Structure 1
Amino acid sequence: MPPFRPVLTALAASLLLASQPGHAADTNARDFFSAPVGTSLGVLYLPVTWADSFHSASGNDDHARLNVEAMAWRQLWFSDICGTLCTPQFIIPAAHIKTTLPGSQTSQQDSGIGDPQVGGTLFFINQPDQREYSGLLTLITLPVGSYDAQHPDVSAGANRWGATFLYNYTRGLGKNWVLEASLEAQLYGNNDNYLGSSLKQQPLYRLQAFASYDFTPATYGALRLYHSRGGAWRLNGQEVPDTRQNSTQLGVELGHWLDKQDQLLLMLARNVHTTNSFDSSQAMLRLVHVF
């Protein structure tokens, strides 16, 4: 076993938790559609992630397991306080995590409140009649969630500051189609108490893309593509081998407006290529209420 392999196995669940569907930077189709100033949205995310193998550059472990049952509440407001349309918001997550790490024969689990996020989207283009939008989502992660330095792989919090920047462009095509793409960078501060050591993660970069179609005025379906690269780790200043992620995820979404105030969305996704992470599948139920 390589000398840094125990560190990699302990990091595995933490890496995956940072990109759960309930995580605000994991967008869904049509997330950048705007609403009139004064509108407020409450969003409840109920994601589940599971995996029965771990893929790394040095080999696969078919005995590794991961199950994450999470939820997150997101509250946002459409406002003109920025001089243009913007959406101040906050997100409060929680999770129950159970895992058998690569190379281990025993499982461990924990539950708790995750690290909250605050921020918002600043719109550069807002043309609802043409279904054309563009904006920059900025989120700051606050290191106040539940964290156990001796069991960081099942902790809901990460004990570090973070910043996410995501630029989106959305455009309607014809009467029913909408295409959109987002470029994202996730930046991380130091975790100064990771198993008694100092841990630093390099930026993680992602592409998120959607093609959605209106089946009826109230119902749409979407195809989604996520591609991630980066996120290598350093422990006490030394590079940890086999921690740079490279993954591709494909998925589908179905959204339906129950009435003028309530929307229900179902998402299913699967990693089709994974390096240095769990080979995971995801499902999510999302509820939106317009105030």
Structure 2
Amino acid sequence: MHHFIFKSVRASIFLALALIFTSAQAAQLDLMPDDYVVKPDTVQLAFNLLQRRQIGAYVNGSLPQNSVRISPFLPAIPLAKTVIESQVASIRLSKFMTLGEFTVAPVLVASYRNIENTSSSYSALVDMQKILGEGAQGVHGDIGVGGTLWLVNQPAKHEFLGVTAFMTLPTGDYDARKNINLSENRWRFVLSGGWVTTLGDKWVNEFSPEIAWYGDNNAYRDFTQSRYILNTQLKGTDELSQEKTYALSDTLRYKITPSIHVFSMAQINRGGKTYVNNSKLSDAADNTRIALGLLFYTQGGNQWMLRYQKDTAIENGLRLADEVTLRYMHYF
């Protein structure tokens, strides 16, 4: 019986870990080139397909060989050979509107997620497949809503300055007694900005700062505690909280032709320490990320984007080894 309970606990630890790390180590608003360019009086529908591979749990910039607990969702074991792969499909609906002298665009976002653990064994005594579980899939329960207000909208100069407020709501089903939860059971508020300027006829620069605040999850269960392992019927009685996260991104885009653009992006992410019952863990992201990509426009209001990105430096958490994103966007 205890063996069955422990396996269930391990599966739950893995899924929560994967969901947190796939979102918390990067800017919460995964902005793409052209997102802050105004398309007057149009509806914007975007589909994203993302393939992400993350490896190794870093502590203070290196892979620890000893057992260190760096996350509320992670047991204190060596994780140098951890490999987590995820596929995310998301849909974003937005509409550009005029409000007095300003342009605004409300937005609604939902996503589907599939996660797989392909970790190899750390040693004969540490079986990563058994400890972290094989993975999970399902619809992410939390819906995101928000909008952007443009303070500067000068299409003739191709200069735009927008401010975005976005909130993720705890709308999904959450039960601390279940092995799998695809909802975080907390709200998240993100304030972001985007400044688009041209550099001559061929170059476009897009600069975006961001800050995110996180609510508390008061129904969290610390599965590393023996009281939950011994009694699976207990409801969550722990509190999970997280400090603010910060991100700064800059994208430089080159127009090969009016319909074909290439771009590069650099991003830094800081902050985000988590606490369990006011006990601080060393899991602030503190990573640096780069990306390369291609934008392709076709007639009829269609846009295609292919992007590759990876972490070039990381202090804590899982390192993004590879991520490929394909986005299709339609304006009508």
* Length-normalised TM-score, structure 1: 0.89
How far residue 276 of structure 1 moved from its aligned partner, in angstroms, is 1.6
Measure the CA separation in 1 of the matches of 2:57 and 2:118.
Answer: 10
Using the TM superposition, name which of 182-191 and 90-99 deviates more.
90-99
- 2:47 maps to which residue? 44
Structure 1 residues 35 and 270: CA distance shift in structure 2, 3 A: same
Q: Is the 8 A contact 2:158 2:196 kept in 1?
A: yes
How far residue 109 of structure 1 moved from its aligned partner, in angstroms, is 1.6
- 1:76 maps to which residue? 94
Residues 187-198 of structure 1 aligned to structure 2 (within 5 Å): 187-195=213-221, 196=236, 197-198=238-239
Residues 141-220 of structure 1 aligned to structure 2 (within 5 Å): 141-145=168-172, 147=174, 149=176, 155-195=181-221, 196=236, 197-220=238-261
- 1:15 maps to which residue? 20
Measure the CA separation in 2 of the matches of 1:191 and 1:286.
Answer: 32
How far residue 20 of structure 1 moved from its aligned partner, in angstroms, is 8.4
Which whole-Å deviations, capped at 9, do the CAs of 1:92-113 have from their partners, x for residues lacking one? 1111122378976222322222
- The structure with the larger Rg is 2
- 1:26 maps to which residue? 30
- 1:3 maps to which residue? none
How far residue 155 of structure 1 moved from its aligned partner, in angstroms, is 4.2
- Structure 1: where are the runs of 5+ without partners? 1-5
Structure 1 residues 208 and 118: CA distance shift in structure 2, 3 A: same
Measure the CA separation in 2 of the matches of 1:119 and 1:162.
Answer: 11
Candidates 138, 145, 149, aligned match of 1:112: 138
Number of paired residues? 282
Using the TM superposition, name which of 74-83 and 159-168 deviates more.
74-83
Measure the CA separation in 2 of the matches of 1:234 and 1:29.
Answer: 34
Q: Is the 8 A contact 1:64 1:104 kept in 2?
A: no
Q: Is the 8 A contact 2:25 2:269 kept in 1?
A: no
How far residue 30 of structure 1 moved from its aligned partner, in angstroms, is 1.9
Which amino acid in the other structure matches residue 227 of structure 1?
I
Which whole-Å deviations, capped at 9, do the CAs of 1:118-138 have from their partners, x for residues lacking one? 111000000111111101111
Structure 1 residues 209 and 46: CA distance shift in structure 2, 3 A: same
How far residue 157 of structure 1 moved from its aligned partner, in angstroms, is 2.3
- Structure 2: where are the runs of 5+ without partners? 1-9, 65-78, 222-235
How far residue 81 of structure 1 moved from its aligned partner, in angstroms, is 3.0
- 2:7 maps to which residue? none
Which amino acid in the other structure matches residue 277 of structure 1?
G
Kindly indicate whether residue 118 of structure 2 is the aligned counterpart of residue 91 of structure 1.
no
Structure 1 residues 10 and 259: CA distance shift in structure 2, 3 A: closer
Which amino acid in the other structure matches residue 215 of structure 1?
I
After TM superposition, which residue ranges in structure 1, 4 or more long, deviate above 6 angstroms? Answer: 8-11, 100-104
Which amino acid in the other structure matches residue 131 of structure 1?
H
